[in-house]
Chain A
């Protein structure tokens, strides 16, 4: 057994190359649960906690994108200035676990675990994010849609590290909504992120916890675009929003499990999609947390 407390990406990659079976740990909020409950046996570990470059982010004005280091904690996404760049991500971050979990958990961890209930994942899907991977031999960029493969399965090779995620900065409403058994400290029974790109005239909707991986509702999106102009603030009637919700719900494939039932999840998605679209039409102001 060994542990490598890497301080740079290169150091982490060298350790991974030497031992591709080593487990990566960032905030520990997924892996340590598995370890504590004896659900996984760990031998070698590469810790990313001290890798400062994974905690950085920057805005590229030319491409109008935000590049977010894979280790930036959710607590930072909740606060200014990040919450102003990607409001839906701030909303999703605020629903992750508790303040203690948000101080540790990260988007890199969410993508690495790739649970369909990961709160950050519908947001990166709705934003068509790009995942940046590095290995000792080079780097590659993968669309988040190709990265998330199934339940706890992703396209990361064993010698690769998720180093960052790039999302576009868009004008227009964006929001995240989630249903669970209580308000705080809950894993989603169903979640949804809606992004209205007012300049491109597009609405994008991604759903969490209702399929083996996050679902993009491309048919519902295309239908909506054919029904109403989405340039600027869209005009959406209650009936249109309801139909959009029903079409979105038809695109997911939820299951019955210990957290909810398929029927409830499908219903919840129809309501969440409808609600988010009406918020987009109302140009609703996005409210952020109190800890700024």
Chain B
């Protein structure tokens, strides 16, 4: 490509991406060039949600973002959610509720749930279902995932009052 490199801002850090092919997805660049393997790749066609990241405040499938077009975007991956290696309340709640089984969908779900609760701190069960309808889990049957989200929602509400 004519541009020798481009910059991506991921989890508050600027990275220079060199010698990349134009068509590389953000998912690929995160995992293979930036050493951020928390974001998972499965379907690579936007159907499974395991590659969900936050881009400019929106939850998107990183497999469908052409990385070289995200040069001005603020990107947050699952690695950027926790502080000092401590799990976030959402992450801890997934563990407590048994919402993690094989774990492959978990990073995408964690990002999607953070995004939901940031915009809507008190989602109804239907709103939770809609918000994670693009994140497919083949292990849990979703019951324990919904329970994890309820627990965070209620704990945050209790903290706020």
Contact = CB atoms under 8 A, between A and B. Distances in A.
Contacts, number: 120
Nearest to A43: B22
B44 A36 contact: yes
A184 B25 contact: no
A49 B21 CA distance: 19
B96 interface: no
B92 interface: no
A219 interface: no
Given A1-B1, A75-B58, A291-B130, A98 B71 contact: no
A248 to B, nearest CB: 29
A289 B123 CA distance: 13
Identify the interface centre among A45, A50, A99: most chain B CB within 10 Å of its CB: A99
B45 A33 contact: yes
B120 interface: yes
Interface in B106-134: 112, 119-120, 123-124, 126-127, 130-131, 133-134
B130 A27 contact: no
Nearest to B124: A290
B65 interface: yes
A158 B59 CA distance: 32
Interface string A158-177: 00000000000000000000
A103 B44 contact: no
B1 A3 contact: yes
Nearest to B57: A103
Contact of A100 (B2, B23, B72, B134): B134
A98 B112 CA distance: 11
B30 interface: no
A33 B64 contact: yes
Contacts of A101: 46, 61, 64, 134
A184 B134 CA distance: 7
A28 B71 CA distance: 15
Interface of A: 1-3, 5, 25, 27-29, 31-33, 35-37, 42-45, 47, 49-50, 75, 97-101, 103-104, 183-185, 289-291
Given A1-B1, A2-B3, 19 more contacts: A1-B21, A3-B2, A3-B3, A3-B22, A5-B71, A5-B72, A27-B64, A28-B69, A31-B66, A32-B63, A43-B22, A45-B69, A98-B135, A100-B49, A100-B61, A101-B61, A184-B134, A290-B123, A291-B127
9 contacts: A3-B66, A32-B63, A32-B65, A36-B25, A98-B49, A99-B112, A99-B131, A100-B52, A104-B61
